[in-house]
Amino acid sequence: MITTSNLSKKYNDITVLNIENLDIPKGQSFGLVGNNGAGKTTYFSLLLDLIQPSSGYIKNNNILVHESEDWKPFTSSFIDESFLIGYLTAEEYFYFIGELRGQNKADVDALVAQFSDFFHGEILNQKKYLRDLSKGNQKKAGIVAALIGNPEVIILDEPFANLDPTTQIRLKAIIKNLAKKQGVTVLISSHDLLHVTDVCERIVVLEKGEIVKDLATSAETLRELEAHFAGSEVV
Protein backbone atom coordinates (compact mmCIF):
# COMPACT_ATOMS: atom_id res chain seq x y z
CA MET A 1 0.00 0.00 0.00
CA ILE A 2 2.74 2.46 1.03
CA THR A 3 6.25 2.12 -0.37
CA THR A 4 9.21 4.23 0.73
CA SER A 5 12.43 4.09 -1.29
CA ASN A 6 15.76 5.90 -0.80
CA LEU A 7 13.94 8.67 1.03
CA SER A 8 15.90 11.48 2.63
CA LYS A 9 15.22 14.93 3.99
CA LYS A 10 17.94 17.47 4.66
CA TYR A 11 17.91 20.93 6.20
CA ASN A 12 21.06 23.02 5.69
CA ASP A 13 23.08 19.91 4.81
CA ILE A 14 21.88 18.16 7.99
CA THR A 15 20.07 14.90 7.24
CA VAL A 16 17.03 14.51 9.49
CA LEU A 17 15.55 11.47 7.74
CA ASN A 18 17.16 8.68 5.74
CA ILE A 19 15.03 5.60 4.97
CA GLU A 20 16.36 3.22 2.35
CA ASN A 21 13.30 1.02 2.15
CA LEU A 22 10.01 0.67 4.03
CA ASP A 23 6.89 -1.16 2.82
CA ILE A 24 3.59 -0.96 4.68
CA PRO A 25 0.96 -3.38 3.31
CA LYS A 26 -2.75 -2.63 3.04
CA GLY A 27 -4.68 -3.14 6.25
CA GLN A 28 -1.67 -3.06 8.55
CA SER A 29 -1.73 -1.19 11.85
CA PHE A 30 1.73 0.38 11.81
CA GLY A 31 3.46 2.14 14.69
CA LEU A 32 6.35 4.58 14.44
CA VAL A 33 8.27 5.30 17.64
CA GLY A 34 11.40 7.19 18.58
CA ASN A 35 12.76 9.92 20.79
CA ASN A 36 12.17 13.59 20.03
CA GLY A 37 13.99 14.52 16.84
CA ALA A 38 14.06 10.94 15.55
CA GLY A 39 12.22 11.86 12.35
CA LYS A 40 8.69 10.60 13.01
CA THR A 41 6.86 13.82 12.19
CA THR A 42 9.20 14.45 9.25
CA TYR A 43 8.23 11.09 7.77
CA PHE A 44 4.51 11.78 8.20
CA SER A 45 4.96 15.25 6.71
CA LEU A 46 6.61 13.71 3.64
CA LEU A 47 3.87 11.10 3.43
CA LEU A 48 1.28 13.90 3.38
CA ASP A 49 3.25 16.06 0.91
CA LEU A 50 3.56 18.83 3.48
CA ILE A 51 7.28 19.00 2.72
CA GLN A 52 9.32 17.84 -0.26
CA PRO A 53 11.89 15.03 -0.08
CA SER A 54 15.55 15.82 -0.67
CA SER A 55 15.84 12.49 -2.47
CA GLY A 56 13.82 9.35 -3.05
CA TYR A 57 10.08 8.99 -2.82
CA ILE A 58 6.99 7.64 -1.09
CA LYS A 59 4.30 5.85 -3.09
CA ASN A 60 0.78 5.55 -1.70
CA ASN A 61 -1.09 2.84 -3.63
CA ASN A 62 1.47 3.20 -6.45
CA ILE A 63 0.97 6.98 -6.61
CA LEU A 64 4.05 9.18 -6.15
CA VAL A 65 3.01 11.39 -3.26
CA HIS A 66 5.16 14.40 -4.14
CA GLU A 67 4.19 14.40 -7.83
CA SER A 68 0.44 13.74 -7.79
CA GLU A 69 -2.57 14.46 -5.57
CA ASP A 70 -4.44 11.32 -6.62
CA TRP A 71 -3.72 9.72 -3.24
CA LYS A 72 -5.66 12.37 -1.33
CA PRO A 73 -9.22 11.04 -1.87
CA PHE A 74 -8.44 7.79 -0.02
CA THR A 75 -5.99 9.15 2.58
CA SER A 76 -6.77 11.14 5.72
CA SER A 77 -4.85 12.30 8.74
CA PHE A 78 -4.77 14.23 11.96
CA ILE A 79 -1.34 15.51 12.93
CA ASP A 80 -2.10 18.38 15.28
CA GLU A 81 -4.55 21.19 16.02
CA SER A 82 -3.38 23.14 12.97
CA PHE A 83 -5.51 20.71 10.91
CA LEU A 84 -8.64 22.12 12.56
CA ILE A 85 -10.51 25.29 11.61
CA GLY A 86 -10.76 27.09 14.91
CA TYR A 87 -13.68 29.39 14.12
CA LEU A 88 -16.01 26.48 13.29
CA THR A 89 -18.00 24.38 15.73
CA ALA A 90 -17.32 20.65 15.71
CA GLU A 91 -20.49 20.02 13.68
CA GLU A 92 -19.57 22.68 11.12
CA TYR A 93 -16.09 21.22 10.81
CA PHE A 94 -17.39 17.68 10.33
CA TYR A 95 -19.76 18.85 7.57
CA PHE A 96 -16.93 20.79 5.92
CA ILE A 97 -14.70 17.70 5.85
CA GLY A 98 -17.65 15.64 4.66
CA GLU A 99 -18.21 17.98 1.74
CA LEU A 100 -14.55 17.70 0.76
CA ARG A 101 -14.91 13.90 0.82
CA GLY A 102 -18.18 13.69 -1.07
CA GLN A 103 -20.34 13.00 1.97
CA ASN A 104 -23.69 14.66 2.62
CA LYS A 105 -24.89 15.75 6.06
CA ALA A 106 -26.79 12.51 6.61
CA ASP A 107 -23.62 10.52 5.87
CA VAL A 108 -21.61 12.63 8.29
CA ASP A 109 -24.29 12.46 11.01
CA ALA A 110 -24.41 8.67 10.71
CA LEU A 111 -20.64 8.39 11.05
CA VAL A 112 -20.35 10.84 13.92
CA ALA A 113 -23.19 9.16 15.82
CA GLN A 114 -21.03 6.05 16.14
CA PHE A 115 -18.61 7.97 18.37
CA SER A 116 -20.92 9.33 21.05
CA ASP A 117 -19.05 7.32 23.71
CA PHE A 118 -15.73 8.65 22.43
CA PHE A 119 -17.00 12.23 22.58
CA HIS A 120 -18.36 11.65 26.09
CA GLY A 121 -20.91 14.45 25.71
CA GLU A 122 -18.19 17.10 25.35
CA ILE A 123 -18.03 17.77 21.60
CA LEU A 124 -21.45 17.90 19.95
CA ASN A 125 -24.23 20.39 20.73
CA GLN A 126 -21.89 22.49 22.85
CA LYS A 127 -22.14 25.66 20.75
CA LYS A 128 -18.40 26.07 21.14
CA TYR A 129 -15.83 26.88 18.50
CA LEU A 130 -13.09 24.28 18.08
CA ARG A 131 -10.52 26.84 19.26
CA ASP A 132 -12.33 27.04 22.60
CA LEU A 133 -12.29 23.30 23.29
CA SER A 134 -9.64 21.68 25.46
CA LYS A 135 -6.62 20.12 23.76
CA GLY A 136 -8.06 16.67 24.39
CA ASN A 137 -11.43 17.51 22.89
CA GLN A 138 -9.79 19.17 19.90
CA LYS A 139 -7.91 15.93 19.36
CA LYS A 140 -11.12 13.88 19.60
CA ALA A 141 -12.75 16.07 16.95
CA GLY A 142 -9.71 15.87 14.67
CA ILE A 143 -9.46 12.09 14.92
CA VAL A 144 -13.14 11.50 14.13
CA ALA A 145 -12.96 13.99 11.25
CA ALA A 146 -10.14 11.86 9.82
CA LEU A 147 -12.56 8.93 9.64
CA ILE A 148 -15.11 10.72 7.47
CA GLY A 149 -15.44 9.43 3.90
CA ASN A 150 -14.21 5.86 4.47
CA PRO A 151 -10.48 6.49 3.90
CA GLU A 152 -8.23 3.55 3.09
CA VAL A 153 -5.21 5.12 4.82
CA ILE A 154 -5.35 7.01 8.13
CA ILE A 155 -2.31 8.76 9.63
CA LEU A 156 -2.36 9.84 13.28
CA ASP A 157 0.50 11.64 15.03
CA GLU A 158 0.54 11.19 18.83
CA PRO A 159 -3.17 10.29 18.98
CA PHE A 160 -3.09 9.33 22.69
CA ALA A 161 -1.52 12.55 23.98
CA ASN A 162 -3.82 14.87 25.98
CA LEU A 163 -6.54 12.20 26.22
CA ASP A 164 -7.87 10.92 29.54
CA PRO A 165 -7.55 7.19 30.29
CA THR A 166 -11.16 6.37 29.38
CA THR A 167 -10.80 8.06 26.00
CA GLN A 168 -7.45 6.35 25.37
CA ILE A 169 -9.12 2.97 25.88
CA ARG A 170 -11.94 3.90 23.53
CA LEU A 171 -9.49 5.17 20.93
CA LYS A 172 -7.55 1.92 21.03
CA ALA A 173 -10.77 0.02 20.29
CA ILE A 174 -11.47 2.36 17.35
CA ILE A 175 -7.99 1.84 15.88
CA LYS A 176 -8.14 -1.93 16.27
CA ASN A 177 -11.53 -2.03 14.55
CA LEU A 178 -10.27 0.07 11.62
CA ALA A 179 -7.32 -2.18 10.88
CA LYS A 180 -8.58 -5.64 11.81
CA LYS A 181 -12.24 -5.44 10.76
CA GLN A 182 -12.33 -2.74 8.08
CA GLY A 183 -8.96 -3.33 6.41
CA VAL A 184 -7.83 0.28 6.80
CA THR A 185 -4.09 0.97 6.78
CA VAL A 186 -3.47 2.87 10.01
CA LEU A 187 -0.17 4.63 10.72
CA ILE A 188 0.46 5.89 14.25
CA SER A 189 3.32 7.86 15.72
CA SER A 190 3.51 7.75 19.49
CA HIS A 191 5.78 8.19 22.50
CA ASP A 192 3.54 5.84 24.47
CA LEU A 193 5.10 2.40 24.05
CA LEU A 194 2.33 0.61 25.94
CA HIS A 195 -0.46 1.96 23.75
CA VAL A 196 1.38 1.54 20.47
CA THR A 197 2.27 -2.08 21.19
CA ASP A 198 -1.35 -2.72 22.12
CA VAL A 199 -2.85 -1.41 18.87
CA CYS A 200 -0.11 -1.89 16.24
CA GLU A 201 0.79 -5.23 14.67
CA ARG A 202 4.12 -3.83 13.51
CA ILE A 203 6.40 -1.21 15.06
CA VAL A 204 9.35 0.59 13.50
CA VAL A 205 11.86 2.46 15.66
CA LEU A 206 13.51 5.56 14.23
CA GLU A 207 16.76 6.91 15.62
CA LYS A 208 18.36 10.05 14.19
CA GLY A 209 16.28 9.65 11.05
CA GLU A 210 17.10 6.00 10.37
CA ILE A 211 15.27 2.74 11.01
CA VAL A 212 17.02 0.79 13.76
CA LYS A 213 14.30 -1.78 14.52
CA ASP A 214 11.38 -3.24 12.56
CA LEU A 215 9.32 -5.49 14.81
CA ALA A 216 6.28 -7.70 14.36
CA THR A 217 4.40 -7.11 17.61
CA SER A 218 4.48 -9.98 20.08
CA ALA A 219 4.24 -10.52 23.81
CA GLU A 220 7.92 -9.52 24.08
CA THR A 221 7.76 -6.33 22.01
CA LEU A 222 7.03 -3.90 24.83
CA ARG A 223 9.91 -5.29 26.88
CA GLU A 224 12.23 -5.07 23.88
CA LEU A 225 11.26 -1.48 23.19
CA GLU A 226 11.66 -0.47 26.83
CA ALA A 227 15.11 -2.06 26.91
CA HIS A 228 16.07 -0.27 23.71
CA PHE A 229 15.04 3.16 24.95
CA ALA A 230 16.46 2.60 28.42
CA GLY A 231 19.86 2.32 26.75
CA SER A 232 19.28 5.12 24.24
CA GLU A 233 20.74 8.55 24.37
CA VAL A 234 17.99 10.98 25.33
CA VAL A 235 17.47 13.50 22.54
Strands 2-11 and 153-157, by their bridges, are: unpaired
Give per-residue pLDDT as tens, 16-44: 999 999 999 999 999 999 999 899 999 99
Give the C-alpha separation, 48 to 71, whole Å.
9
Number of other residues whose CB lies within 10 A of the CB of residue 73: 13
Give the C-alpha separation, 145 to 190, whole Å.
19
- Classified as helix, coil or strand, 75 is strand
Domains observed in the chain: 2-230 (3.40.50.300)
Structure pTM?
0.92
Please determine, for residue 4, whether its predicted confidence score (pLDDT) is greater than 70: yes
* Mean confidence (pLDDT) of the chain: 93
- Classified as helix, coil or strand, 204 is strand
Dihedral sign, Cα of residue 217, residue 218, residue 223, residue 228: negative
C-alpha 201, offset from chain centre: 15
Which pLDDT band, with edges at 50, 70 and 90, does 126 fall under?
A: confident
Which pLDDT band, with edges at 50, 70 and 90, does 127 fall under?
A: confident
Please determine, for residue 234, whether its predicted confidence score (pLDDT) is greater than 80: no
Residue type, 116: S
The torsion angle over the Cα atoms of residues 30, 147, 122 and 110, rounded to 10 degrees, is -140
